[in-house]
Structures are given as C-alpha cells and as structure tokens.
Structure 1
Amino acid sequence: MPKRGYHHGNLRQALVDAALVLIEEKGPAGFTLSEAAKRAGVTPAAVYRHFDGREDLIAEAARQGYEMFCEVMERAYQSGQPSALAAFEATGRAYLAFAREHPGHYISMFESGVAVNRSPELAQVAHRAWSVLERAADDLAQHIPADRRPPGSMFSAHIWAMSHGVVELFARNSPGNRSPYPPEDLLETGIGVYLRGLGLLPPDT
C-alpha cells in the first residue's frame, strides 16, 4: 500500500497544530521538526516549505496565540464596562483562563524563548494584546490622585507578573506546588491586596 500523503486542509496550520500538541506534551525544546511532521502526516522536508525551522514554527504558534489572547482580553475588558474596576479585574481573570484553556499557545508565547520582536507581525499582535490590559489599568488609575498614580504600563506589568506567577506555580499542576486555594482565588485576593495598597478598594473590615 502506498504511503498515505497529506491531502486535507492547510498544511501550514496542520504543522502549527501538531507543534502545539507537542509543546504541551514535551515543552518547546522537547520536540523535533521530524516529530511535528510525523504528527501532521508529512515528511520532514515538507516542513521547510512553510517554516525555516522549529523556532519559526513556534513563533507562528505564538503569533496565533496572541491573536486569540487579544480577543479574550478585549472581550473581558468590554464585559466589565462601564466600571473601570470590573473591567480591570475581568482582564486578570481572562489571563488565567487563557493559560488554562490554551496551554500550547501560552507556552509558545511566554515560555519558549522566542523573542516577541522576532517578526513585525508577532510584535504588533503582542503589543495589541497587552495594550488592552494597559488600557484597563489606565482607566482604573484615573481614580488615584495624580501624585500617587503609577504609570499605566507599570500598573499593568504588576498584574501581568502576578497573573503569570499564579499560572506558573499553581495552575499547571506543578509537582510540590499545590496550593490549598484555587488559582482564581489566589489571583483575586492578590489583586485585591494590590488595589487596596493603591487606595482603590476599601480596607478589609
């Protein structure tokens, strides 16, 4: 019987989909292009018609992830309007939800070592995604007196760091890092502490 070739759909996307599965299973450095090709049902040589190498393939997975992430963050931001606080908190929760629902994309975006400025397309969509969180931070920061108001970029970076830490330590079933609290609760209370420190929430009673 002749070897079954690739006759369905979009080969470029099939390779990205194969890479996403492998990234989730083995990490971004744990698979070869040959494995991605085999999973997609083509020869290794076929990969090079679409990608220069593994890093190029991962970069495309990251770009697609940022496109999805941008939509998720924008939807979260809009869901909280017109309340600046609700919009801001929604974007934090959306970050955690995205990491859980799209682990292959998330790893490609944040843990693969692929530079966000590897290509203009990747840099542009990444900037667009993060601008949603920065916009939510800017909206909320307007409620802080000007002399105590952090820059929106710093504000959003703090929440990004907190969200990323919760994902890495407690939302990935990391051995030895199991928390007695759900990741969502950890993030919500952490954001609450941060916002109270800025005077944006009343003190606990």
Structure 2
Amino acid sequence: MAKRGYHHGNLKQALVDAALKLIEDKGPTGFTLSEAAKEAGVTPAAVYRHFEGREDLIAEAARQGYEIFSDLMEYAYETGQPSALASFEATGRAYLAFARRYPGHYVAMFESGISIQRTPDLAQVAQRAFAVLERAAANLSEHIPPEKRPPPQMFSAHIWALSHGVVELFARGSPGTKSPFPPEDLLETGIGIYLRGLGLVPPDD
C-alpha cells in the first residue's frame, strides 16, 4: 500500500478504522501503532498528530462504539413501546445485535481494559448507553410500591451483566461454549426468570 503520509484525507478516522480491523484480527493488545499506521496507509509518525499512544486510539474506537451502541439501545427502547417489558427485552436484544455487527467496537469498549473515564467524551457517551437501560428498568417497576421497589440501577446492572455473559459465552463463538439454544432465547428466558423473581412481571399462567 502506498504511503500517503500527512496528505491523508481523514487521517484520524482512517486510523480508527485500521485499529478496529486489527482489534478484530489480533485483539486490543495484539497490535502496535506502527501496524495501525501501516493498515491505514500512512507513516508511523503521522499517527501522533492525533493519538499519543495505542490506548488513546483504542479509546476513540470505544467512544465511537458507544455512540453507535447508544443509538441502537435508544431505538430498541422506543420501538418496544408501549409495553415496558417489551422495551426492556428489546434493549437486551440490541446488545446482542451490536456485539455481532460491530465486534471491533465491542472489544474496544468492553474487553480492552480502557476505562470509560479516560476522556470526558467517552464517559458521557457511555453513560448515555447505561441510562437507556436504567430508564427501561425504572418504567418496568413503576407499578410496584416505592417501599418494595428494587433500585432500577441494581436490576438494570444485573441485566447488563446477563446480556454481556450471553454475548461472551455464546454469541461470539468462544471455543468450547456452544449452546444448544440460540443466544436470543437464552437472554430472553434469563431476563424473564430474573424479572419474575423480583416480582417485576407477573408469573406465567
């Protein structure tokens, strides 16, 4: 690939796209800035116009991933209306869909070790994603008397963990963890059992 050096039209985004490909192929710690520059078709020195190190590059990939993720979560929540339960379950399915469609972003966000507090922009957009699930959880528990209502932050965090576990074990092809059930079914039934246990949805007839 011919070097384009400082004449690259959109160097920053080209480097992020290169990093996403390398993350998919080698993992978040399996490549260097020089490899990202080579993948983007620029000189290694050009990288430092935008990023001080590999972690900064991965953090920007994560930030962009959270932007996409937040939009998907918000869309899922809105399209699940008017049922609070349907909206809540839709956000779980959106999590699975995102992990499948954007694996490089997913790894940068959740498996790279990059803190969401690394930059204010990253923290802000990550909180937007978390807020969607908390809002869905709050709406789901409105019918429960306040003194008996579990904190929405608690059970939204539990559902987040359940969604993440299903993705990690069964939706991303982890060796030796094949399930006889589709990940979507595992997540939906798991959410149902959990919410019924908390009294947030009525038991099946």
Q: TM-score range by the shorter chain?
A: over 0.9
Q: Which runs of 5+ in 2 are unaligned?
A: none
* 2:120 maps to amino acid: P
Alignment partners' CA distance in 2, 1:164 and 1:102: 14
What do residues 132-172 of structure 1 show as CA deviations (whole Å, max 9, x unaligned)?
Answer: 11000000011233333111111110000000000011111
Residue 191 of structure 2 corresponds to residue 191 of structure 1: yes
Task: Report what 2:114 is aligned to.
Answer: 114
Alignment partners' CA distance in 1, 2:101 and 2:183: 14
2:3·2:43 contact (CA, 8 Å) conserved in 1?
no
**1:1-205 matched pairs, under 5 angstroms:** 3-5=2-4, 7=7, 9-205=9-205
Q: Which runs of 5+ in 1 are unaligned?
A: none
Change (3 A) 1:200 1:70: same
2:37·2:43 contact (CA, 8 Å) conserved in 1?
yes
Alignment partners' CA distance in 2, 1:120 and 1:179: 39
2:20·2:61 contact (CA, 8 Å) conserved in 1?
yes
* 2:107 maps to amino acid: I
* 2:108 maps to amino acid: S
Alignment partners' CA distance in 2, 1:160 and 1:91: 9
2:18·2:40 contact (CA, 8 Å) conserved in 1?
yes
1:62·1:106 contact (CA, 8 Å) conserved in 2?
yes
3-state SS, counterpart of residue 138 of structure 1: helix
3-state SS, counterpart of residue 177 of structure 2: coil
RMSD across aligned positions (CA): 1.3
- How far the C-alpha of 1:199 sits from its partner, in A, is 2.1
1:84·1:136 contact (CA, 8 Å) conserved in 2?
yes
Alignment partners' CA distance in 1, 2:152 and 2:55: 32
Q: Percent identity between the aligned chains?
A: 76
